[in-house]
Chains A and B, each alone.
Chain A
Amino acid sequence: MDEAGREDVAQRVLGLAGGACEAIVVDSDVGLTRFTHNAIHQNLAERDTSVRLRTIVDGRTGVAATNDLSEAGLRTVVTRAQASAGLAPRNPNAPALAENPRVAAPPGAFDATLAAVTPEQRAEIAADVFRVADAGGVWAAGYVTTERSGITLANSRGTLSSYDATTCGLNVKVNGADATGYAEFFGRALAGLDGAAVATVAVDKARAGAAPQPVEAGAWTVILEPPAFGELASYLLDHFSAQTYDEGSSFLSDGLERRYAGERVTLGDDFAHPLHAGMPFDYEGVPTRRLPLLEGGTAKNVVTDATWSKRLALPDTGHAEPAPSAAGPQARHVVVSAGEQSREALIAGTKRGLLISRFWYIRPVDRRRTIVTGMTRDGTFLIEDGKLGHGVRNMRFNQSILEALARAEFADTQALTAGYSYSIVVPAVKMEGFHFTSVADF
């Protein structure tokens, strides 16, 4: 559904509801071609359009959602939202709806070529991956995905904002006899989906990592490639929420303007970064601010929404999640600043360490201290005297992220990396004293 169609749905439901209310219409069309053993095994297209209505009556809030966009369906969603609001206790701290300016999407958010991609094109990209894997005598598992999405938010105060975007991804894990390799691409333009190029990187890693050797557990110098560092850093994101900050579960709860990480660590939330090209407003229609979170390791800001802005008397930074959101505001477009050395120079400057391609199943062990555990996967290599060496068996780590960042050095090139719950722009990073606690036998 295009912007005009979404705006029509939003205005119709607002008209039916009357009073103070907000409508969010989301349209998505996802195609995903998944493969394993150099053949496609799951191939799909998912399409949906839904409307979410938030009504506020005298400080009482109710939310209802539906994908039935008929007149009857919209009337029902209005009735349900109002019924919920009518029974909700009055919350005197609930912020009122505001009129927000319309803001434009950053350049590069939408690629018309990508929006029109066919299953045949995805299959051809997958076939390119298969050809490289076959030639290397290995098998590939992964996916090619393309998505077109649009969101329109309108409220009874006159806010009306829309954002259309495309995204794509190519994920390739290559499986050799005793080693695996991984490479990926995430972006917003079809031109980036180069199956042969991505597969070649993954195949090279699997080959280089053949016959992996065990190394001892303990403290290591590590260089994390962007997929590994991105997943690790994603476990900091929720700490920058005004909610966790205020409630005491964030590492920032000791206060802003304090030093929490090394002086080279600078990160911020920037929807307009070219690799993000993200939504310029939040799920309350408030324009999203581009703001520093850590500068030189010192905490500068937390992200807010209308509720937490009012509660903490801070500016509304435009980071609301879709209502209802018990998790509070979230930093959705984090960018970790690059350093000055190339990835190769970081490796060359390492006497003995590990190059890590990817992590798996990171989970918090001690949230406040940012201790997490997880495993390496799909390409871990020994570095000796500044040179990449043999593959290394996978290991489990237990590590405070902040302590690891105390002596971090960053590479000079950033990449967009993503998992099922995050999307983040990061460079490769070198960190000292990264703690591994056990070694697997594969």
Chain B
Amino acid sequence: MTNFDAPGARALETARVRGAQYADVRFEEGRTERVEVRNGDVVTLADETSTGYGIRAFCDGAWGFASSPDLTGAGIDLTAARAVAIAKAGASVAARRFAQAPLERYVDSFETPCETDPDTVSLGDRVALLLEAERSLHVKPEIAVGHAWIDLWRTDKTFYSTTGSRIAQALRQSGSGLAALAVGNGDAQQRTHPGDVGLYQSGGWEIVELAALRENAARIGEEAAALLTAPQCPAGTLDVILGASQVSLQIHESCGHAAELDRIMGWEANFSGTSFLDPAQLGTLRYGSDAVTIVVDNRMPRGLATAGYDDEGARSVAADIVRDGILVGFETSRDTARTIGRETSACVRAQNWQHIPMIRMCNLNLLPGNLPFEALFEDVDHGIYMESNRSWSIDDHRLNFQFGCQVGWEIVRGRRTKMVKNPTYAGVTPQFWQSCDAIADERSWTAWGTPNCGKGEPMQTGRTAQAAAPARFRNVQVGVGYN
């Protein structure tokens, strides 16, 4: 990790001289490596690095942000001056003030766990794994496209502030997955593994191995082909069991985004929307059933958003959002938390050095229940078990949703029976979570990463996690969109 102490000090001093009452600067060195195989061809062998810094300046109750890759003294001076000028421009027309200068000071370092450094795995071995796994998808002639990929990400970042903070973090994240597209019978059906985007977690090569691509490829290919002739998912009001990765998506869309306090305050109103939640509901709103407890945990070892500190230099914490079904907290930043008289939950992140930090859901976990996965089926007379997301849409208040999965199996009198295609379900967020009456235990609880969460303008791609186990929901509207 490069030592940025000297340019960091220069950036802060320039901002101060230009008139900033507070400033911070975040230097980042990022490296992303991707290998991708498609129908036997290695279509991607990419190795990308990006280094730069983003400066936040606080002037008269307004923030300015400027970023640059120019690490020369002149470049740093120019960027710091730009951040201050932008803050002053904002302050000049501000009828109200959103911001207050931070006071905290941390001198610390943090590293995500990494059992096997990906650098110890040759490019040749990475390619060989994907070629073998992708080839194994083609178990049926209907498989028109096989696809396999590996992503290896490394981010070294150092944060400095005018309060004296110096925080160095080394974050390692890895992911991989498979997809099989089957075409035939006038239809096209896709299956993916693991989950819908692959398995993404903090860590090294061990995360790729955990995905077990070779071991699951043939099954995924078989299922994709079988979907072409599977019957349509029935429509009606049925019980639903969602696989763990779909529960992760459900948390992400209907809780994670809904509980972002910037969104609740209208900061995202023009793009990703607002929220049905309100600070006045804290401690009183029944968000879900007693079985539902959802927590922020940004230091959990394998979360894709795991970090010691967020991107405004606040220390990561564990905090409840929903406890035993009751709404008790939000994902917050310093500025937003202050408006409700609380401390930040340190959920501020930027996509990279180039972008302004803002509230992200980070690691948001549904705590596991106490039933083995198989036991979820025993009490279902007629229902659908659905796996792996295919379609997701929710309104801009995060209330009315409609999700679709890649595959379903009809449940009849407690037993999983025939495969059905195009399973969809719809609901309204609090009613849906109140219908959750059982969650599988920790043996099927996984920290599912979402590597592609969009928010903000210019839009940033965030890396979030939602640890989840399969869960059961009663009396759900199923089959929407096809009936």
Task: Spell out A's residues near B (CB within 8 Å).
Answer: 30, 32-34, 36-50, 52, 61-68, 76-77, 80-81, 83-85, 87-89, 91, 93, 118-120, 122-124, 126-127, 130, 139, 141-143, 145, 171-173, 175, 182, 247-249, 253, 324-326, 360-368, 371, 373-375, 377, 394, 396, 398, 420, 437-438, 440, 442
Shortest beta-carbon distance, B390 to chain A, in Å? 8
Nearest A-chain residue to B389, judged by Cβ: A363
Chain A residues with Cβ under 8 A from B183's Cβ? 247-249, 253
The answer to whether B67 and A123 have CB atoms under 8 Å apart is no
Nearest A-chain residue to B67, judged by Cβ: A46
Query: Is B356 interfacial (CB 8 A cutoff)?
Result: yes
Chain B residues with Cβ under 8 A from A42's Cβ? 63, 65, 267, 356, 358, 456-457
Query: Is B269 interfacial (CB 8 A cutoff)?
Result: yes
Known: A171-B270, A438-B400. A67 touches B51 (CB 8 A): yes
Query: Is B49 interfacial (CB 8 A cutoff)?
Result: yes
Chain B residues with Cβ under 8 A from A362's Cβ? 393
Shortest beta-carbon distance, B426 to chain A, in Å? 7
The complex places the Cα of A68 from the Cα of B72 at a distance, in Å, of 12
Instruction: Please provide the chain B residues from 233 to 276 with a CB less than 8 Å away from any CB of chain A in the complex.
Output: 265-267, 269-271, 273
The answer to whether B454 and A420 have CB atoms under 8 Å apart is yes
Nearest B-chain residue to A124, judged by Cβ: B93
The answer to whether A44 and B66 have CB atoms under 8 Å apart is yes
Instruction: Please provide the chain B residues from 75 to 98 with a CB less than 8 Å away from any CB of chain A in the complex.
Output: 79, 82-83, 85-87, 89-90, 92-98
Q: A43: which of B87, B391, B392 is its contact (CB, 8 Å)?
A: B87
Shortest beta-carbon distance, B2 to chain A, in Å? 11
The complex places the Cα of A32 from the Cα of B354 at a distance, in Å, of 13
Chain A residues with Cβ under 8 A from B375's Cβ? none
The answer to whether A361 and B67 have CB atoms under 8 Å apart is no
Jot down 26 A-B pairs with beta carbons below 8 A, ordered by A. A38-B96, A39-B97, A42-B63, A43-B90, A44-B67, A47-B70, A64-B47, A66-B50, A76-B49, A87-B124, A130-B95, A141-B267, A141-B269, A171-B457, A247-B181, A248-B183, A365-B424, A365-B481, A366-B482, A368-B188, A371-B481, A377-B273, A396-B393, A420-B454, A438-B426, A442-B397
Chain B residues with Cβ under 8 A from A253's Cβ? 183
> What 1/0 flags go to B387-404 for Cβ under 8 Å of A?
000011111110110101
Query: Is B480 interfacial (CB 8 A cutoff)?
Result: yes
Known: A68-B51, A361-B394. A41 touches B69 (CB 8 A): no
Shortest beta-carbon distance, B380 to chain A, in Å? 25
Query: Is B218 interfacial (CB 8 A cutoff)?
Result: no
Chain A residues with Cβ under 8 A from B392's Cβ? 363
11 extra A-B contacts, CB within 8 A, seeds A34-B457, A363-B391: A41-B98, A43-B86, A50-B50, A64-B48, A65-B46, A65-B49, A67-B51, A89-B42, A118-B89, A249-B188, A375-B396
Q: B131: which of A61, A89, A91, A398 is its contact (CB, 8 Å)?
A: A89
Chain A residues with Cβ under 8 A from B139's Cβ? none
Shortest beta-carbon distance, B184 to chain A, in Å? 8
Query: Is B466 interfacial (CB 8 A cutoff)?
Result: no
The answer to whether A373 and B45 have CB atoms under 8 Å apart is no
Query: Is B210 interfacial (CB 8 A cutoff)?
Result: no
The answer to whether B188 and A326 have CB atoms under 8 Å apart is no
Chain B residues with Cβ under 8 A from A366's Cβ? 422, 481-482
> What 1/0 flags go to B49-74 for Cβ under 8 Å of A?
11110000000001111111110000
Chain A residues with Cβ under 8 A from B65's Cβ? 42-45
The answer to whether A36 and B396 have CB atoms under 8 Å apart is no
Q: A87: which of B45, B68, B93, B422 is its contact (CB, 8 Å)?
A: B45
Chain B residues with Cβ under 8 A from A396's Cβ? 393, 395, 400, 402, 426
Query: Is B371 interfacial (CB 8 A cutoff)?
Result: no
Shortest beta-carbon distance, A15 to chain B, in Å? 20
Instruction: Please provide the chain B residues from 138 to 156 with a CB less than 8 Å away from any CB of chain A in the complex.
Output: 144-145, 147, 149
Chain A residues with Cβ under 8 A from B360's Cβ? none
Query: Is B297 interfacial (CB 8 A cutoff)?
Result: no
The answer to whether B391 and A173 have CB atoms under 8 Å apart is no
Query: Is B107 interfacial (CB 8 A cutoff)?
Result: no
The complex places the Cα of A17 from the Cα of B193 at a distance, in Å, of 38
Query: Is B302 interfacial (CB 8 A cutoff)?
Result: no
Known: A47-B67, A362-B393, A373-B402. A247 touches B93 (CB 8 A): no
The answer to whether A373 and B391 have CB atoms under 8 Å apart is yes
Q: B86: which of A77, A119, A394, A420 is its contact (CB, 8 Å)?
A: A119
The answer to whether A36 and B68 have CB atoms under 8 Å apart is no
Q: A68: which of B47, B49, B355 is its contact (CB, 8 Å)?
A: B49
Inter-chain residue pair count (beta carbon < 8 A): 256
Known: A44-B64, A248-B188. A89 touches B267 (CB 8 A): no
Chain A residues with Cβ under 8 A from B69's Cβ? 47-50, 67-68
Query: Is B229 interfacial (CB 8 A cutoff)?
Result: no
Nearest B-chain residue to A54, judged by Cβ: B46
The complex places the Cα of A157 from the Cα of B270 at a distance, in Å, of 47
Task: Spell out B's residues near A (CB within 8 Å).
Answer: 34, 36, 38, 41-52, 62-70, 79, 82-83, 85-87, 89-90, 92-98, 122-124, 127, 131, 144-145, 147, 149, 181, 183, 187-188, 265-267, 269-271, 273, 354-356, 358, 391-397, 399-400, 402, 404, 422, 424, 426, 454, 456-459, 480-482
Q: B43: which of A175, A182, A324, A374 is its contact (CB, 8 Å)?
A: A324
The answer to whether B270 and A363 have CB atoms under 8 Å apart is no
- In this complex, which of B52, B90, B392, B397 has the most chain A Cβ atoms within 10 angstroms of its Cβ? B90
The answer to whether B63 and A37 have CB atoms under 8 Å apart is no
Nearest A-chain residue to B477, judged by Cβ: A438
Chain B residues with Cβ under 8 A from A89's Cβ? 41-42, 127, 131
The answer to whether B147 and A39 have CB atoms under 8 Å apart is no
Chain B residues with Cβ under 8 A from A145's Cβ? 457-458
The complex places the Cα of A33 from the Cα of B269 at a distance, in Å, of 14
Shortest beta-carbon distance, A219 to chain B, in Å? 14
Nearest A-chain residue to B481, judged by Cβ: A398
Chain A residues with Cβ under 8 A from B144's Cβ? 247-249
Nearest A-chain residue to B41, judged by Cβ: A91
Q: B93: which of A64, A67, A123, A172 is its contact (CB, 8 Å)?
A: A123
The answer to whether A67 and B395 have CB atoms under 8 Å apart is no
The answer to whether B86 and A80 have CB atoms under 8 Å apart is no
The complex places the Cα of A99 from the Cα of B91 at a distance, in Å, of 52
The complex places the Cα of A83 from the Cα of B122 at a distance, in Å, of 11
The complex places the Cα of A104 from the Cα of B83 at a distance, in Å, of 35
The answer to whether A375 and B422 have CB atoms under 8 Å apart is no
Shortest beta-carbon distance, A129 to chain B, in Å? 10
Q: A375: which of B96, B123, B400, B482 is its contact (CB, 8 Å)?
A: B400
Shortest beta-carbon distance, B342 to chain A, in Å? 19
The answer to whether B68 and A142 have CB atoms under 8 Å apart is no
The complex places the Cα of A61 from the Cα of B67 at a distance, in Å, of 32
The answer to whether A361 and B395 have CB atoms under 8 Å apart is yes
Chain A residues with Cβ under 8 A from B269's Cβ? 36, 141, 173, 175
The answer to whether A440 and B187 have CB atoms under 8 Å apart is no
Chain B residues with Cβ under 8 A from A377's Cβ? 273, 395-396
Shortest beta-carbon distance, A90 to chain B, in Å? 10
Chain B residues with Cβ under 8 A from A65's Cβ? 46-50
The complex places the Cα of A40 from the Cα of B188 at a distance, in Å, of 46
Q: B457: which of A32, A123, A124, A374 is its contact (CB, 8 Å)?
A: A32
Shortest beta-carbon distance, B54 to chain A, in Å? 8
Chain B residues with Cβ under 8 A from A45's Cβ? 65-67, 82-83, 86
Nearest B-chain residue to A80, judged by Cβ: B47
The complex places the Cα of A130 from the Cα of B95 at a distance, in Å, of 9
Nearest B-chain residue to A254, judged by Cβ: B186
Chain B residues with Cβ under 8 A from A64's Cβ? 46-48
The answer to whether B45 and A39 have CB atoms under 8 Å apart is no
Chain B residues with Cβ under 8 A from A142's Cβ? 270
Nearest A-chain residue to B267, judged by Cβ: A36
The answer to whether A326 and B391 have CB atoms under 8 Å apart is no
The complex places the Cα of A365 from the Cα of B480 at a distance, in Å, of 10
The answer to whether B47 and A126 have CB atoms under 8 Å apart is no
- In this complex, which of B49, B131, B144 has the most chain A Cβ atoms within 10 angstroms of its Cβ? B49
Q: B63: which of A43, A52, A93 is its contact (CB, 8 Å)?
A: A43
